[in-house]
Amino acid sequence: MQKTELLKRYVIFLIGLFINSFGVSFITKASLGTSPISSIPYVLSLAFKPTLGNFTILFSLILIIMQMIILGKKFQMIQLIQIPVSIIFGYFIDYSMLLLSSFQPELYAMKGLSLLIGCFILGFGVYIEVLADVVMLPGEAFVKAITTRFGTDFGTTKVCFDASMTIMAGIMSLLVFQQLRGVREGTIIAALIVGLIAKQFGKTLAPLTLFLFPDTEGENSRAEATYENHYIITVSREFGSNGSRIGEMIAGELGIAYFDHEIIQKAAEKSGYSKEFIESNEEKLTNGLLYDLYLQNFAYVKGEESKREALFHAEQEVIRDFASKSSAVIVGRLANYALKDYKNVYHIFLRADTDYKIRTVQEREHIGFEEAAHKIEKINIERSNHCKFFTGQEWGQAENYDLILNVSKYSMEDVVQKLVAVLPQS
């Protein structure tokens, strides 16, 4: 990385660090608790003379020492840059608290509003920090150290870390004050929404990200790709519509390659996850909101992603790789999204009436009517949630496909013939 680029990143990081500190101070001044990572320093600052910023510095230094103990020889000396960053952050917090010294909301409604404003400020600061991608704050670096040493999931570890900090601060408060001070409902709210806000800033301000750090490869080069010598057909399908079988028949009729379960094998090789894990988790998302709450923990650090995100990206890469080699029919796994910017790609969505889907699943899996109906509803909801979460698009919405067909109106052979008639032959 060039010196000018590195300097720019550190300047952006310091701006984010100050915004972060101002957000922490704003939340704290709302008097409904503070953010989880600041809860222990805040309780100590209420009980003893040093300031919130001073205790934040001390607490950060302890976390850095613990990283060194956990990682041992794997601790990289470059991470010692967390020390001056922690000192700067601590003084930023004290300066922010000074700026807000006259801000004392009295009404609970005003406190709640102040808390939310503080969360938005903190979320924006987190977004700017992560955008700079030069150094992690000690709290996130400590979580990263645990995941590196013990192989735990970052999101789960971050939840446990925040919860433990909050509980420890609560215990300290009860011991010192015989009541809860510094840890309240605001602490929980901050834990739940700050990461979500940071991720939303990342999506909304994507043009700013590209402006500050232009992507010379990635999406720009991908959008220019064309398949001049071949074509691709993607088949999205409702569960029970016989979409996979129809896709295979289309490929056979056209004499081109067909990819379905092959994607699982290649994604397993690329991601390192087992085929069984992929089969159990691909194209599924039970509850988008709950997953959002879990996923927001990854907003605090660059380069970390959940297993589902890693799986999604691995399958998208596999799909693009398959598509680059020859004409093919590719079934499911949001292939239409993976290839949305490519030319010579045709997107089909196959749906069916409820009774057709139930009959299909009954015959295929040898199960009863109610079990089949329940399974169809469950899987199609999961596919819809999965599509919405990862693409922002509505699954089955006409504008995302070139052709939508209700297969229950025809025999499978007729469906194949009708589709082949309107699809490219060479």
Binned at pLDDT 50, 70 and 90, residue 219 comes out as very low
pLDDT score at 220: 45
Residue bearing the bigger pLDDT, 321 or 278? 321
Confidence of residue 214 (pLDDT cuts 50, 70, 90): confident
Q: Answer yes or no: is pLDDT of 222 > 60.
A: no
Write down the pTM of the prediction.
0.75
At 114, is the pLDDT very low, low, confident or very high (cuts 50, 70, 90)?
Answer: very high
pLDDT average, residue stretch 93-121: 95
What is the C-alpha to C-alpha distance for residues 63 and 55, in angstroms, rounded to an integer? 12
**Whole-number pLDDT of residue 228:** 65
Q: Give the sign of the dihedral formed by CA 157, CA 159, CA 161, CA 163.
A: negative
Other C-beta atoms lying within 10 Å of the C-beta of residue 117: 14
* pLDDT surpasses 50 at 217: no
> Residues 66, 140: contact at Cβ < 8 Å?
no
85 versus 268: which is more confidently predicted?
85
Give the residue-averaged pLDDT of 187-201.
90
Whether the Cβ atoms of residue 137 and residue 24 lie closer than 8 Å to each other:
no
Q: Write out pLDDT tens, residues 360-383.
A: 999 999 999 999 999 999 999 999
User: For 255, left (φ over 0), alpha (ψ -120 to 50), or beta?
Assistant: left
CA pair distance 167, 227, nearest whole angstrom: 57
Which percentage of the chain shows pLDDT scores above 90? 70
Q: Of the given ranges (62-71, 79-88, 287-296, 385-394), which has the lowest mean pLDDT? A: 287-296
- In this prediction, residue 305 carries a pLDDT of 77
Which whole number is the average pLDDT over 151-171? 91
